[in-house]
Amino acid sequence: MTLQTTMTRYRRILILSAFLIMITALTLAAPARAKVYIDINSPGGKLLPIAIQKIADLEKTRLSVKPIGKAARADAATYKLKYIIMDALKGDIEFSGFFEVLNRNAYIEDVSDSGLTRSETDFSLWRIIDAELLIKGGLRLDGDKLTAEFRLFDTARETTLLAKRYVGSKDSPRLLAHRFADDLIKKLTGKKGIYSTKIAFISDVGGSKEVYMADYDGKNIKQVTSNGSINISPRWSPDRRKLLYTSYMTGYPCIFEQELITGRVSVISDKKGSNIGGRWSPDGRRIAYTATGRKSPEVYIRDNSSRKVTQLTNNYSIDVSPVWSPDGKRIAFVSDRAGNPHIYMIKSTGGKVRRVTYKGKYNTDPDWSPNGKTIAFTRLDKTGTNVWTIRADGTGLKQLTFEGNNQSPSWSPDGRYLVFSRQWAGKVKRLYIIRKDGSGMKRIKIKIGKTSAPSWSPYRR
């Protein structure tokens, strides 16, 4: 046997071994062995062509006559639900920035002639239009109960990457689409999506500034407060069941806690003077906030079990806007102790204060990234108020926005995005989302007055 022949056989063995390893990884259920298709830390990569087939009926019924009466009404209701789910799913997939959603006019396979499963799919028809990934879905409406099934396929390998069933109310079809999009992103990137999250914000649509909440994409808007006063700075509890906010409904700013399901409102701090900027600790056991009395504004920490309040900062300057690090060990805040507002940091148990920002004359609105490495904030300069990020150690300063008035940045729970309020060129203040690298800025389409002070929810526990 020649050396060349031996090397050729050796290469074939290596290729076969690699192929078998790949197939094994795809078929194992353990997340640690799953293939990651997308590197979320590598921006600017090639967009993956993906096709989203029309939503089918989970139980096909071939009728020889056109449905009438109740059957026709049920058919119309199901058709509307399919449209809503398709719209939400397509929006989620496009928002991710990872995919190119292929035009449906190019699809060859007919949804009425194929099923949801791998064996019922002709992958060659999808490869013809260069679809690397394929989503199929089915829907069933049974009274008020809505069931949706989704499949994600790799068209080249003709494998099922994800198969999920979701059950919910017919009044929440978008949630089923968001849940699948969350699972899809986790499957392909290794990190859960943010499509089932919420954003709390302030709107003046009714004449007073009230707290509202909506899905991340601006849909499903719900009013939280209705006290007819000025309400500001909504903040989520770690379990997403409550909101903190500052309200002037007692005549001066006090901090309140509201349960979202029951609507029950509790007072957190009503010290005479001013009580603003409440934030839960990551474990939900404490709340940091700013209060004033006869002295200057200082940062305080309230233990939610004992209701004991501890003063964290103590000086003659203004200390406001406290925000916890993800591990709960540090608090970043804004202080003018050096003459102008800058971002500072202190241990949550107290101690020496460390300055984080040095450039600029007005730095405020800090928000800590979920991984604890970065702080987003706003800076006022001659070009306006813009969103910046800086590493927690004070390095890596980066500007994300460059025109207009941009305020109140809030991180998404996966740390890939920031939501903030923006006003420019004399237009109404609106909410926008931007990626952490400053790309992909997109307006959230909420058309209920001026919107501001957004707060992105954590994942549901």
- How many Å apart are CA 120 and CA 453, to the nearest integer? 49
What would the mean pLDDT of 250-275 be, rounded to a whole number? 96
Q: What would the mean pLDDT of 392-415 be, rounded to a whole number?
A: 97
Q: What percentage of residues in the chain have a pLDDT greater than 90? A: 79
From the CB of residue 368, how many other CB atoms can be counted at a distance below 10 Å? 23
Look over the chain and give the mean of its residue pLDDT values, rounded to a whole number. Answer: 89
Rounded Cα distance, 131 and 128, in Å: 8
Asked if pLDDT for residue 175 goes beyond 80, the answer is yes
pLDDT digit string, tens, across residues 60-74: 533 333 444 444 445
Cα(268)–Cα(256) distance, integer angstroms = 5
* Distances 19 to 16, 87, 118, 349 between C-alpha atoms, Å: 5, 37, 20, 54
Whether the full predicted model's pTM is greater than 0.75, yes or no, is: yes
Residue 238 has pLDDT above 60, yes or no: yes
DSSP-derived 3-state class of residue 315: coil
Q: How confident is the model at residue 29 (pLDDT cuts 50, 70, 90)?
A: very low
Residue 39 confidence (pLDDT) above 80: no
Instruction: Give the residue carrying structure tokens 């409406």.
Output: 141
pLDDT band at 114 (very low <50, low <70, confident <90, very high): confident
Alpha-carbon dihedral sign for residues 72, 77, 78, 84: positive
Q: Which residue, among 195, 201, 206, 197, has the nearest Cα to 229 in the 3D structure?
A: 206
* CA-to-CA separations, 270 to 229, 245, 278, in angstroms, rounded: 16, 12, 12
Query: Once rounded to an integer, what is the mean pLDDT over residues 392-405?
Result: 96
Pick the residue with more confidence: 48 or 61? 48
Nearest to 423 by CA among 398, 456, 448, 386: 386
Question: Is residue 196 scored above 90 in pLDDT?
Answer: yes
At residue 134, what is the residue type?
Answer: L
Within its chain, how far is the Cα of 118 from the centroid? 31
Express each pLDDT in 427-443 by its tens digit.
899 999 999 999 999 99
Encoding tokens for residue 5? 């022949």
DSSP letter, residue 35: -
pLDDT at 315 exceeding the cut of 60: yes
Is the pLDDT confidence value at 403 over 60? yes
Are 46 and 127 a contacting pair, CB within 8 Å?
A: no
Dihedral (Cα; 335, 208, 213, 276), 10-degree rounding:
20
The answer on pLDDT for 27 being more than 50 is: no
What is the average pLDDT across 18-22?
35
Which fold, 198-456? Neuraminidase (2.120.10)
pLDDT average, residue stretch 366-373: 98
pLDDT computed for residue 32 by the predictor: 40
DSSP state of 189: H
Q: Domain limits of the chain?
A: 24-189, 198-456
Of the candidate ranges 110-124, 325-339, 343-357, the one whose mean pLDDT is the lowest? 110-124
Angstrom distances, CA of residue 381 to CA of 68, 340, 388, 408, 438:
65, 12, 12, 16, 18
Strands (E) across 193-294 are located at 198-203, 210-215, 222-223, 231-236, 242-247, 254-259, 265-269, 274-280, 286-292
**What does the radius of gyration of the chain's CA atoms come to, in whole angstroms?**
26
What is the CATH number that goes with domain 24-189?
3.40.50.10070
Residue 88 clears pLDDT 70, i.e. is over it = yes
CA geometry: angle at 246 spanning 244 and 249, to 5°?
Answer: 120
Nearest-angstrom CA–CA distance, 407 and 200: 15
Whether the per-residue pLDDT at 182 is higher than 80: the answer is yes
Structure tokens at 296: 């200057």
| pLDDT of the residue at 266 | 97
- pLDDT over 90 (residue 184): yes
Minimum mean pLDDT among 58-62, 202-206, 412-416: which range? 58-62
pLDDT of residue 13: 32
- Which span out of 10-19, 64-73, 104-113 was modeled with the highest average pLDDT? 104-113
- State the pLDDT at residue 8: 41
